[in-house]
Amino acid sequence: MGLGRKMEWAGRAKHLGGIPRKVVLMGVGGFAKIVATIFNTTSVHNAHTLIRLVRSRPPALPLLTVSNHMSTLDDPLMWGFKGFPTSDPNLARWVLAADDICFKNPFYSYFFRLGRAKHLGGIPRKVVLMGVGGFAKIVATIFNTTSVHNAHTLIRLVRSRPPALPLLTVSNHMSTLDDPLMWGFKGFPTSDPNLARWVLAADDICFKNPFYSYFFRLGKCIPIIRGGGIYQEHMNEALERLADGEWLHTFPEGKVSQEDAPIRRLKWGTASLIARAPVTPIVLPIFHHGFEEVMPEKFLCGRRPPFPLCNKNINIFVGEPIEFDLPKMRQTAISLSRNLSLPPVGWPTTSPHGMDEAVQRCLYAAISEQIQTVMESLRNFSKSFMKSKV
């Protein structure tokens, strides 16, 4: 029962740079996901409360979970359900474990003592982001021809905006490869993972198995369930990234459309992020054309091609930041909401402005309409610009 057997030193965050404990937690989390969601069927009632407390409770406020004990694999399998953040070792629980089972030899002691820290020193994230960035550069600039109007505005805001000021880019959605290919143009800093965007990504495409979840999480993707509403739990994660002054990209139309048509009515998720962010982000609109030819939805037998197509022309138009007078927009929303009679859907009252559901609807609609109008103007400009080049 001495120090060698208990191995308290293995539980220290700095043991071997934290790498062994990160490897163990990621491996155990993946095992739990596989057993709970692939080999078996797991249903969780009120999961959002657990996930919210794990992710978003106030700093320095501890969380103590208690449960019944039905098997020796309750932990870790109970954390393996879909949507639980097993890929983030910083969020992993500590647990009281039986000495006679988990610490009965040096190997077991070492394995169960390993805890949490920054995932492998950030190396896997750097590898993924640099690899994806290189792929985007090759497809956008070598295999195809990409032209970017007003690129300097985007690059300046990515590189040099004031500290703690978040950036929110919005664009139309022409293909499943818009992101990352739209950042692959010449001159864009794809080699610096610290400057890479966070992006809202479809849960049913990018997070449908543990490998995809791990890969896209490393790639700074935030899972969003389409149709899950603006208050689904990972929207809080997006708000946290904005609160940290990060760059977040969204596709406010909500899905891919490869038709040459006006910008569709926008979903309210992006508007809610703008209104609820602790610091109002810089909102930069982008319109692009050509990715629908690089990755068409219906190429062979009604399916996408296995690889991006070549010799296509890609045009990206970066607009100017959109200015929102949020205090005035809130007052207008309050006035309009008095005449609004729609059945409630159970949205919470937002703070610090205390807007009820009717006010939120009016505000999010107004913000979305302003973004849609600017994006449509950018689309019309792009068509005129390209026509003048013919």
| Residue whose C-alpha is closest to residue 168's, from 38, 319, 51, 26 | 319
Examine residue 256 and state whether it is found in any structural domain, yes or no: yes
Instruction: Mark which of 300, 323, 346 sits at the end of a domain.
Output: 323
pLDDT (0 to 100) of residue 367 = 98
Examine residue 80 and state whether it is found in any structural domain, yes or no: yes
60 and 148 share one domain = no
CB 247 within 8 A of CB 195: yes
Count CA within 13 A, CB hemisphere, residue 92. 28
Segments in the chain below pLDDT 50: 1-13, 110-111, 113-117
Domain enclosing residue 45, as ranges: 3-117
pLDDT (0 to 100) of residue 23 = 65
Examine residue 336 and state whether it is found in any structural domain, yes or no: no
Examine residue 364 and state whether it is found in any structural domain, yes or no: no
CB 185 within 8 A of CB 148: yes
Radius of gyration for the chain, computed over Cα atoms and rounded to the nearest angstrom: 23
133 and 261 share one domain = yes
The CATH number assigned to the domain holding 129 equals 3.40.1130.10
Examine residue 359 and state whether it is found in any structural domain, yes or no: no
Examine residue 192 and state whether it is found in any structural domain, yes or no: yes
Examine residue 242 and state whether it is found in any structural domain, yes or no: yes
Examine residue 127 and state whether it is found in any structural domain, yes or no: yes
Indicate the residue type of 372.
Q
187 and 211 share one domain = yes
pLDDT (0 to 100) of residue 120 = 66
Phi, psi (degrees; rounded to nearest 5) at 316 = -120, 130
Instruction: Mark which of 302, 323, 344 sits at the end of a domain.
Output: 323
pLDDT (0 to 100) of residue 375 = 98
Domain count, the chain: 2
pLDDT (0 to 100) of residue 117 = 35
81 and 60 share one domain = yes
Tell me, what DSSP letter sits at residue 372? H
171 and 109 share one domain = no
d(CA 93, CA 64): 9
pLDDT (0 to 100) of residue 126 = 82
Burial class of residue 44, CB neighbours in 10 A (0-12, 13-18, 19+): middle
pLDDT (0 to 100) of residue 352 = 64
